[in-house]
Structure 1
Amino acid sequence: MDVFCFHQYFSCICNYKRLIKCAQKITEVPKIDIILISHEHYDNCDLDATNYLVRKYDSKIIAHQSILNKIENSNRNNLISIDEYQSRIIQDIKCTAQPAHHPTSFYPLSYLLNYKEQNIYFAGDTNLTNEHDNIKADLVFLPIGGRYTRDIGSAVQAAKKIKPKVAIPMQYNTFEDIKVNLNHFTEKLSTLKFKINPVILDPGESFYLK
């Protein structure tokens, strides 16, 4: 099962100079079963790329209705609307929308996925919130860039609350405004009283949770 979360992946049409090239051309992306979209910003929701993948693979899309209204898909059953605290089950994956605090977005979401007794938390662009006290996950994707979203310190605070086995940072080093020193992330995680394995992925690299 391939689940794809749009996050600083394809979009390059903006006023920022991109520092890291896209890992793949859109035509090279393998089959995607489900696409999760956290919110409408250009670095999180590339409509051209989404529409291309939907046409090519007949992918299902989970997002807030305000985003789904912009998707070109003749099969409306593939467009799955979701709001905060709602859950949808797609091909044995339970997807629950969690609140996100991202004031510049219309209706931001984060997602908690459950598959084969494992929980994966994709934070989107949210800052630290009280919701993190109630989220438990084996794997977390946390933004660390510190521009319009959380920085390394608050990302580690979120990891401390959630207590995952693995933490993967995201939303960093794509543009000048979100350049960070990744060593600070791994060092801060190592100071916690329990072990969290930091996994740093290069563009296009994969990680498999065991």
Structure 2
Amino acid sequence: MPDNIDVFTQNSIRIRSDFGVIYVDPFHMKEEPHDADYVLITHSHYDHFSIEDIRKVIKADTILVVPEKMEDDAGELKPDVKDIVTVKPGIYKEINGLEMETVPAYNTIKPFHPKRAEWVGYILRVNGKRIYIAGDTGATKEARQVKCDIALLPIGGTFTMDAKRAADLANTIRPEYAIPVHYGGLVGKKSDAQTFASLVKSPVKVIEKMQYFD
């Protein structure tokens, strides 16, 4: 059971690991814990790259990881963090012991997340598990090739997969656990999680982690 993973809202995720505390796309944070060892950003949209919310979780030795084309945007945070590391889709990187792979995150039939933007999802190797944070993506061919133990998949539709397409992806990649994200707030309904769970087939276990809805 992935007890070390919290989902706050949208794609705002915290993972507690052997390498420290990892945040992905912090957004609408209700507290200011300043406990992040790593902050990973999937892309530049305001509900994923919120400087206000990043400032609530970072500390002086935080490492900020962003897609390469966001380097200028992230520069505003340079004085506040230890380092800013840039990534491109489809690479492997090790940062202070934390191993990660990036997966292209894009829409094939919607205009919101073009492949040319080179935005990413992440596969993190944490506590002996491969955790896939898909980011804002459709069920792309790259997503369908992911090998992971835990998958955090967007299900809200509009900008990403909807619950049915996300369930199809979960049934294709067959993680041990699937955690729905990116619903019940700016996009999607709270009930999308139940729709997703009803369509995901055994042996994949669906866990709802969303803590608050905007």
Output the TM-score relative to the length of structure 2.
0.78
Q: CA deviation at 1:117?
A: 3.2
When Rg is computed on C-alpha atoms for both structures, the one with the higher figure is 1
Distance change in 2, residues 1:30/1:53 (3 Å) = closer
Q: Secondary structure at the match of 1:167?
A: strand
Give secondary structure in 2 for the equivalent of 1:150: coil
Residue 65 (str. 1) matches residue 68 (str. 2): yes
**Contact 1:99–1:131, Cα closer than 8 Å, also in 2:** yes
User: What CA deviation, in whole Å up to 9, does each residue of 1:98-147 have, x standing for no partner?
Assistant: 11114424332111111343100000010001113321101000000011
> 1:187 — aligned with what?
198
Identify if the C-alpha distance between structure 1 residues 144 and 39 changes in structure 2 by more than 3 Å, giving closer, same or farther.
Answer: same
Percent sequence identity over matched residues? 23
Partner of residue 183, structure 2 = 172
Q: Is this contact kept in 1: 2:134–2:152, CA < 8 A?
A: yes
Give the match for residue 5 of structure 1.
Answer: 24
Residue of structure 2 equivalent to 1:44: 48
Tell me if structure 2 keeps the 8 A contact 1:132–1:161: no
Moved over 3 A (4+): 51-54, 74-77
Report how far residue 76 of structure 1 moved. Answer: 7.8
User: Aligned in 2, Cα 1:203/1:116: closer, same or farther, shift over 3 Å?
Assistant: closer
In structure 2, distance between residues paired with 1:186 and 1:50: 31
Q: Which residue is equivalent to 2:6?
A: none
Consecutive unaligned residues in structure 1, runs of 5 or more: 11-21, 205-210
For the pair 1:143 / 2:154, whether they are aligned, the reply is yes
Report how far residue 198 of structure 1 moved: 0.8
Other structure's SS at 2:106 match? coil
RMSD (Å) for aligned C-alpha atoms: 2.1
Name the residue aligned to 1:203: 211
Q: SS of the residue aligned with 2:78?
A: coil
Deviation at 1:74, TM superposition (A): 3.2
Structure 2: gaps of 5 or more residues: 1-19
The letter for the 2-side match of 1:195 is P
Q: What letter matches 1:100 in structure 2?
A: A
- Amino acid in the other structure paired with 1:113: L
Q: Does residue 83 of structure 1 match 2:88?
A: yes
Tell me how far 1:200 sits from its aligned partner. 0.5
Whether the 8 Å CA contact 1:100–1:126 is kept in 2: the answer is: yes
Distance 1:3 1:186 in 2: 26
| Distance of 1:75 and 1:173 partners within structure 2 | 32
Distance verdict in 2 for CA 1:4–1:114, change over 3 Å = same
Give secondary structure in 1 for the equivalent of 2:64. Answer: strand
Distance in structure 2 (CA, Å) of the matches to 1:30 and 1:52: 6
Equivalenced residues, count: 184
Query: Do the aligned partners of 1:62 and 1:80 also contact (CA within 8 Å) in 2?
Result: yes
Partner of 1:17: none
